[in-house]
Structure 1
Amino acid sequence: MTDTVDETVDFERQQCAYFLAALLSSNALDVSAVCATVRPDDIALLDDPTATIYRVAVGLARRGVTPDHTQVWAKLLQDGEFAGRKGELVRDRMLAVVSVRAYAERLFETAAQLLSLVFRNRLAAAGAAIAQAAVDFSEADAWALMIREGGETRKIYERIERLRGEAA
């Protein structure tokens, strides 16, 4: 069981690194287009330090600044995002992404892949919650949970489809 969990975490971090590398190679216009579909909170479900970097890159892009590695690093430093244990993780993610080969042309594709992981994690969590609700909740409450979770999961799926349309 532990090996599977470790492999899943490693795969998710690898996908986050590919996304960040593409993001930090992209222009402000493309980053702004992606941030209209992928929210920092989505990425935080996979890797909070990556979400911190993404938030900074999105903020720069919205101001018209190309969020390259140097600009993002400077803003993270200015905002104190390298402080403490979380800051160490943010710094480690930024240092690791330098060695990842990614292309700006793959930004929408890597964003869709990342959001796909969010979708799969959300779907698994929703399924587990619905299964537990079938045992513990009244029918009305279980049904309401299923409708709510299904709706939220569908919204993520629709965002993935929008990204894949832009990537095509």
Structure 2
Amino acid sequence: MPMQIRPFQPEDTQGIVQLILPIQTEEFGIPITLEDQPDLLDIQNFYQQGQGNFWVAVQDGQVVGTISLLDIGNNQGALRKMFVHPDFRGKPFGTAQKLLEVLLSWAREKGMKEVLLGTTAKYLAAHRFYEKNGFVQMEAEDLPANFPRMQVDTRFYRISPDQYIL
């Protein structure tokens, strides 16, 4: 069965936690807990508000990827929680690419002028991925005041959904 990308449903919560936490803590060694991320247990109220949303990539009933768009006002969104299971990364699957396309298409439909994101210095493959997709690196001091900066984030990017070519 082909991979499905769809908006979050409450029954996805456990699969999302089981995907994201090991990537953060084991793969990248970031000392973060579920308690540090209350948004993961309240996705509907945190992400699915205003023009925001949260999507999952599902393969054979398993959550293998996530991405979210947090509406931060002013026709801007913050790309958050983009994670792909190691077994579903890269060209053969295109999981990250499909997730990003869904998010940017949504942002464009909703009239967002800009999507911003923060990431850590450790996510080198993510940096290449974002840059390949037209995101432009920016300085932290150029972030809008409404951007929800995470403590671990040290690199920041922006894109206009209108400029993204699907």
> Which bin holds the TM-score, normalised by the shorter protein?
under 0.3
Per chain length, whose mean CA-contact separation is higher, i.e. which structure has more relative contact order (CA < 8 Å, sep 6+)?
1
Query: Structure 2 length normalisation: TM-score?
Result: 0.25
